[in-house]
Structure 1
Amino acid sequence: MWPPGFLTVRRLFLAGLGIAASVSPSLAYQTIDQVIADWKNQPQSTYPTEFTRGIIPKGIHSHNDYWRDVPLFSAIAVGAVSVEADVWLWNDELYVGHDPSSLSPKRTFSSLYVSPILSILKQQNPVTLFPYTNNTRYGVFDAVIDQTLYLFVDVKTDGNTTWPLVIKQLEPLREGGWLSYWDAEAGVLRPGAITVVGTGNTPFEQVQSHTTPHRDAFYDAPITSFSSGPSGEYDNSTVVIASGSLASALGGPMSGSTLSDTQIAALTSQIQGAHAAGVKVRYWETPGWPLSKRNYIWKTLEELGVDLLNADDLEAAAGLKEICTIGTKDPGLGPVPRATQPPYKTAPPLFELQSRPLPRLFAGSVPPTLATG
């Protein structure tokens, strides 16, 4: 004979796990550890957007992303919100690699980046029987659905002939309404799940003139253009991120293990000038060794307000406490607002996303919105 109320408590316990005793009678006498271990065999165990579940986006740029064992996915796995592909034009195709000797017929811009990104976005926006979920435009990260993913395209061959093919190969993302774009009529930047930034030999004039149907690829402006405040040549209609080598930004290499007051002042001026123009900031060619110097630079740049930390060691960057989500820094692209994507004829009507301010998240932390249920 069971004690009074025992069966009621047991049923509540099972129901709290989303398992009804009548559905899974075999679980009736299991311990909680056994229930958890068996959960994967239950019909309720499938989470529709589990591909990036639990990954917290961080302001990290995956430098030379194509070098990694698994391009794109290794970066997303640690929460990096920016990746970089070096592209080379040959016989009307874009190949990805660091130099000509590293090119391969199967490693193309489309196969390594465009197609996988499109697949991820489709997986994060599944068609279900619930009408209010079928026309969403959620981004890559399940924990922060309105976080954009920056796709830097570093043009290595002639820009005037290569860039038009980059624009052409972005068409699947464009037709799906996934790209951030400049709304010339409203005079505002419309954030999307993916933000394309042309760098290297990307011709600024072609970026500037691309307006059909919208300008949905942007230019990586030199950060030194903002040393004295907003640039007269660049604004956030054509530029969302400004970059530069750290040595050039400082006027020369670091002479010691720390930055001088003059060097800090130079960086501060550039960062504030870019932010005043609504442009985010990234510095490349940051030291990788010794580790103490690398970490010092990362922490200093974060404290000064740099939006993307250039990283070769993604795990180390992701583990640095000071790295927070890029969505907390206002200039440039913030949360995706409601129904902002262009009405491309192949895209269905858009579900109005309920935009919300993003919490300040740190590497390894749990989003407050998730921690409180």
Structure 2
Amino acid sequence: MTRISFIFHSFSGRLCLMLLTALLCSSYSGSRGVQIHSHNDYQKNIPFYRAYSQQVNTIEADIYTAPASDDLLVAHDVQELDTALTLDEMYLDPLVFLFKQNQGRAWRGSEQILSLMIDLKTPLHPTIDRLIAKLEKHPEVFDPAVNPYAVRVVITGSRPDPSAFGEFPHFISFDGFIDVEYTPEQLERVALISEPFCRYAKWKGGPEPLPAQEKQVIEQLIAKSHKAGKPIRFWCSPDNAVAWETFRKLGIDIINTDQPEACTLYFQQNP
């Protein structure tokens, strides 16, 4: 598939914004009691816009440095880079456009904050340096000190050592680990705690309930994260209605899903 045809079939540019208008007419913007994370969002058949139209709380993109330019390419594996679009094309440019249309907010008239989780797949430097340079061009969109409704950018993947958090601009924060003892200053730069559910439990989301022993382990992790004052997200987790309800009852703050529409609809119908 050529690059041009890929862009067309991904509904990028203004054509996609026309589709977005229609999608927003049926989107859910009510209180859900939980946050929804669009996992590996770039792999959807309509990246960004599907999740955005549902007003999810977090959208995730994996990035690589482009070998022959200053671009950042969005892809899951190195093998996909030949046809990959740039971070600007898929996420940053649409956000800049929408913030202008929505009077400085992710969604017009909404106080909800959108987070963009960016997974650095190539080494920290120069990947994060290129990213920061792009974000600095639009402080009204990506800097909460300039705009309180700005997108919160969270770095995961190739992260710096916590002792170096202070070396990076205040408008980015970091994805945290449950087993790291952060100092109070470092903890201020941690946006959330993310852990692989499959490391701690083998439960696949039903039909039998989460086993008591596995439930106890997960509850301990949730309690530890909450004691640190941070929300928690589990990836590598079951992704169906039984799992979503179980996770809500357990007190998991951020529901990881590859099905943003179905997950949003579930919490709309089961507030």
Are 1:56 and 2:34 counterparts? no
Are 1:198 and 2:162 counterparts? no
Aligned to 1:280: 231
| 1:293-325 Cα deviation digits (max 9, x unpaired) | x3222111111222221111222211213xxxx
Aligned to 1:74: 50
Aligned to 2:257: 311
Mapping of residues 1-373 of structure 1, within 5 Å: 52=24, 55-56=28-29, 59-91=35-67, 92-104=70-82, 107-125=85-103, 137=104, 139-142=105-108, 145-174=110-139, 176=140, 178-180=142-144, 192-205=149-162, 208-211=165-168, 214-225=169-180, 231-233=181-183, 236-248=187-199, 250=200, 252-254=201-203, 257-288=208-239, 294-321=240-267, 362=268
Equivalent pair of 1:154/1:199 in contact (CA under 8 Å): yes
| 1:130-158 Cα deviation digits (max 9, x unpaired) | xxxxxxx4x22336x22111101011111
Equivalent pair of 1:163/1:203 in contact (CA under 8 Å): no
TM-fit CA distance, 1:223:
3.1
Stretches of structure 2 that go unaligned for 5 or more consecutive residues are 1-20
TM-fit CA distance, 1:64:
0.9
TM-fit CA distance, 1:218:
0.9
Aligned to 1:187: none
Q: Distance in 1 between matches of 2:243 and 2:156?
A: 23
Equivalent pair of 1:207/1:238 in contact (CA under 8 Å): no
| 1:243-284 Cα deviation digits (max 9, x unpaired) | 011022x2x533884322232222222223222323111110
Equivalent pair of 1:56/1:364 in contact (CA under 8 Å): no
Q: Distance in 2 between matches of 1:179 and 1:266?
A: 37
Q: Of the two, which has the highest radius of gyration?
A: 1
Q: For the structure 1 residues 242 and 114, does the alpha-carbon distance in structure 2 shift closer, same or farther, using more than 3 Å as the test? A: same
Q: Distance in 2 between matches of 1:267 and 1:123?
A: 42
Q: Distance in 1 between matches of 2:196 and 2:151?
A: 24
2:95 maps to amino acid: I
Q: For the structure 1 residues 259 and 102, does the alpha-carbon distance in structure 2 shift closer, same or farther, using more than 3 Å as the test? A: same
TM-fit CA distance, 1:170:
1.1
TM-score normalised to the size of structure 1? 0.58
Stretches of structure 1 that go unaligned for 5 or more consecutive residues are 1-48, 126-136, 184-189, 226-230, 289-293, 322-361, 366-373
Q: For the structure 1 residues 302 and 68, does the alpha-carbon distance in structure 2 shift closer, same or farther, using more than 3 Å as the test? A: same
Give the secondary-structure state (helix, strand or coil) at the position aligned to 2:190: coil
Relative to structure 2, which stretch is displaced further, 306-315 or 268-277?
A: 268-277
Q: Distance in 2 between matches of 1:192 and 1:64?
A: 24
Q: For the structure 1 residues 206 and 70, does the alpha-carbon distance in structure 2 shift closer, same or farther, using more than 3 Å as the test? A: farther
Identity %: 26
Q: Distance in 2 between matches of 1:363 and 1:104?
A: 41
Q: For the structure 1 residues 199 and 180, does the alpha-carbon distance in structure 2 shift closer, same or farther, using more than 3 Å as the test? A: same
Q: For the structure 1 residues 315 and 52, does the alpha-carbon distance in structure 2 shift closer, same or farther, using more than 3 Å as the test? A: closer
Equivalent pair of 2:74/2:84 in contact (CA under 8 Å): no
Q: For the structure 1 residues 268 and 285, does the alpha-carbon distance in structure 2 shift closer, same or farther, using more than 3 Å as the test? A: same
Structure 1 or 2: more helix by fraction: 2
Equivalent pair of 1:52/1:140 in contact (CA under 8 Å): no
